[in-house]
Amino acid sequence: MTEPTDTQQYSFKAETKQLLNILIHSLYKEREVFLRELLSNASDALNRLRFETVTNRDVLDLNAELKIHITLDKDSRMLTIQDTGIGMTKDEVIENLGTIAQSGARKFIEATKDKNTDLTSVIGQFGVGFYSVFMVAEWVRVTSRSFRKDDEAVMWYATGEDNYQIGHTDMSERGTKIEIKLKEDAAEFAEEYRLKNIIHKHSDYIGFPIYIGEAKEAVNKQTSLWRTSKQEVTEEQYTEFYRQTTLDFEDPLLHIHMATDAPVQLYALLYVASKAERGVFSLRKDDGLKLYTRNILIDEYNKDLLPEYLRFVQGVVDSEDLPLNVSRETVQSSGLMPKLKKVLTNQVMRELENLAKNNAEKYQAFWQEFGLYLKQGIASNPVDADTINPLLRFKTNLNPETWSSLEEYVSRMKEGQKEIYYIVGEDSKSVLRSPHLDYFHSLGTEVLLLTDPMDSFMLMGLHKYKDFDLKNVAQAEVDTTQKPKDQPEAEKIADIDFNSLVEHFKQVLGERVADVRASTRLYQSVARLADADANANPELQRVYKYLGKEYEIPKKVLELNPSHTMLKDLLNLEAGSELQNIIIEQIYDSSLLVEGLHPDPSSMASRVQQIMEAALKQKSG
Ligand code: ADP
Ligand code: MG
């Protein structure tokens, strides 16, 4: 190599300067991670070269060994890391080491404000890993030669201050060489035993041999974590791998490590995060799994390996069965994908079931974060309902604070109960006040509370669990010969009076209701709205509402409680008086309200005021 020629000076962007400043002056802990970052870059470059050669044989040094070579000189405090990877052109060097990473730098600087974050463990995830070299370097010189035969070699030099230099240079072999002059207090990184230690700790899994000095044997194990047998991987290693690849500061909720040979060969290492929402720093830009074939990354966000409802699962899948010469596009159409998907889906569902069985507490945490996805899965893949059903959890009127499975519900069912009851509503508080529950409350029958918008969608695919149909309490036929024991039966309004009251309701409400009639299943409530058509589908009505579709809610039947004191008092008012009329209006509006169907609740305010005024007048009058 000769001295670089026509060197030009460039200035780092403001954020990069700030970042370098932080790296150089405040991050002393675990400076060793700079080596992990440089080796990971070398490994990326080697991977990219390998991917390139799948389709392109016209590359420089086609047959050179894919490797990383480290040389050390303790006396001069020099450390050199050289790879035979894809290399960089001058423009790429400017782009990759000089100007990009702006957004990453900004995010990293943001992250340094949170004192709890262990920055060194995740620095690579900000796309600024290369700069971590300045934690230990007095100066750094990068020499690179692209795999494209016609491009010249390039040199980049910086001290971590404001500027960097770029020039042409001579280098005959393909790849990138990084020469580091270590700071005085970083001389340890020119010690062979120290480097070996760091490599074993952080970079053992790099899939290319790392040689130090003249040694013929690679320092690293060279097998990726997902290809390592389960017995040899510790919990810490699973967690570290997760953090490295996701930039999630929290530990994962679950990891699934699998290797199979039939019906397809695959290795997979999958994770479920502890939170559904991606962290602010997350670099995971999309759903999907990383798909490798024989250690070559062919797709970073593959969405064909799991059904959509498991899209919260992240991680790596590696299969030897995928042909090597597949492009990212043709992999989708390869007949192998459905097989991989089936194996992976079964495994994930099995692991979730095991978690539910063996660790209820952790499973609840999972359900709280990801239950939504499974519900959606039932709506969009009803054929999978049988495998998803056991994973569902519900709050109920009798157990409103804890999560129950359908199995638990069924095991608590009363003798003779033939259906699983549920009620749909806006939130569990208001739903518990629903008049549809009167009868069930009184008999102590358990009812699932479905208060999540996704529940209505789920119900479109969930009709049965085992032998039991699911039934909306609003529509359930009730056996009114069964009377609650502990409730004295209130005296009914005489038929003749009740009928005139019904007529009166009909007059006031007119076209707005399909009918007004007596109810046989109300105890505490005055009235309830029932569907006129026994086959109506209240879930679908809600789905339309959530989707914002123009949809006229079918007219309902207003059912009145013939034993309710309020109706008795209403009868005592002057027939056809204004007060009687507005109370009838309010009974109807309140029913709409608890049903979550009221189009404009605030419109009731003036009427409620009128009613209050009347009540106060009575008291004082
Ligand atoms: P990241 O690896 O997350 O992209 P880095 O700061 O570690 O961020 O590296 C910046 C970029 O510099 C890389 O994306 C890559 O394009 C380039 N680069 C770094 N090291 C090498 C190398 N050894 N060979 C080829 N390109 C490299
Ligand atoms: Mg990197």
What are the boundaries of each domain within the chain?
5-222, 226-358, 395-620
Nearest atom, ligand 1, residue 131 CA: 6
Architecture of domain 226-358: 2-Layer Sandwich (3.30)
User: Taking the chain, what is the end-to-end CA distance rounded to the nearest angstrom?
Assistant: 107
pLDDT above 70 for 103? no
For the domain bounded by 5-222, which CATH number is listed? 3.30.565.10
Give pLDDT, residue 221.
86
Centre of ligand 2 from the C-alpha of residue 161, in Å:
20
User: For residue 99, how far is the Cα from the chain centroid?
Assistant: 32
pLDDT above 60 for 512? yes
Give pLDDT, residue 28.
60
Q: For residue range 287-316, what is the model confidence (pLDDT) as tens digits?
A: 999 988 877 777 888 999 999 999 999 999
State mean pLDDT over 367-384. 94
For ligand 1, whether the C-beta of 46 sits within 6 Å is: no
Minimum-distance ligand to the CA of 131? 1
Closest Cα to atom 12, ligand 1: which residue? 96
pLDDT band at 568; cut points 50, 70, 90: very high
Predicted structure pTM score? 0.73
Nearest atom, ligand 1, residue 42 CA: 23
For ligand 1, whether the C-beta of 83 sits within 6 Å is: yes
For ligand 1, whether the C-beta of 175 sits within 6 Å is: no
Pairwise pLDDT comparison (103 vs 192), residue with the higher score: 192
Give pLDDT, residue 445.
95
Q: Which residue has the tokens 């998907």?
A: 341
CB 274 within 8 A of CB 252: yes
Give the separation between CA 391 and CA 550, rounded to whole angstroms: 34
Backbone angles phi, psi at 532, to 5 degrees: -70, -40
Q: For residue range 45-85, what is the model confidence (pLDDT) as tens digits?
A: 999 999 899 889 999 999 999 999 999 999 999 999 999 99
Give the separation between CA 177 and CA 489, rounded to whole angstroms: 91
pLDDT above 60 for 189? yes
Minimum-distance ligand to the CA of 96? 1
Look up residue 225 and give its amino acid.
L
Give the separation between CA 362 and CA 355, rounded to whole angstroms: 7
Mean pLDDT check: name the lowest of 213-227, 233-247, 490-504.
233-247
Give pLDDT, residue 108.
78
DSSP state, residue 611: H
Give percent of the chain with pLDDT exceeding 90.
62
Q: For residue range 140-178, what is the model confidence (pLDDT) as tens digits?
A: 999 999 999 999 999 999 998 889 999 999 999 999 999
Query: Taking the CA of residue 572 as centre, how many other CA atoms within 13 Å lie in the half-sphere pointing to its CB?
Result: 5
State mean pLDDT over 237-263. 88
The residues pairing with 450 across neighbouring beta strands, listed in sequence order, are 424
pLDDT above 70 for 478? yes
Nearest atom, ligand 1, residue 41 CA: 20
Mean pLDDT check: name the lowest of 13-27, 332-346, 581-595.
13-27
CA distances from 496 to 109, 500, 565 (A): 79, 6, 16
Give pLDDT, residue 13.
83
Residue 587: partners with Cβ closer than 8 Å, 6 or more residues away: 526, 527, 558
CB 9 within 8 A of CB 159: no
Give pLDDT, residue 303.
92
Centre of ligand 2 from the C-alpha of residue 40, in Å:
6
pLDDT above 60 for 327? no
Centre of ligand 2 from the C-alpha of residue 12, in Å:
18
Pairwise pLDDT comparison (332 vs 476), residue with the higher score: 476
Share the mean pLDDT of the chain. Answer: 89
Burial class (CB in 10 A: 0-12, 13-18, 19+), 294: middle
Record: fold of 395-620: Four Helix Bundle (Hemerythrin (Met), subunit A) (1.20.120)
Give percent of the chain with pLDDT exceeding 70.
91
For ligand 1, whether the C-beta of 37 sits within 6 Å is: yes
For ligand 1, whether the C-beta of 32 sits within 6 Å is: no
Mean pLDDT check: name the lowest of 42-51, 93-102, 110-119.
110-119
Give the separation between CA 204 and CA 35, rounded to whole angstroms: 12
Give the separation between CA 171 and CA 152, rounded to whole angstroms: 8
For ligand 1, whether the C-beta of 45 sits within 6 Å is: yes
Give pLDDT, residue 138.
96
Look up residue 414 and give its amino acid.
K
pLDDT above 90 for 567? yes
Give pLDDT, residue 203.
86
pLDDT above 70 for 452? yes
**DSSP state letters, 297-325:** EEEEEE-SSS-GGGTTEEEEEE-TTS-TT
Centre of ligand 1 from the C-alpha of residue 85, in Å:
11
Centre of ligand 1 from the C-alpha of residue 31, in Å:
19
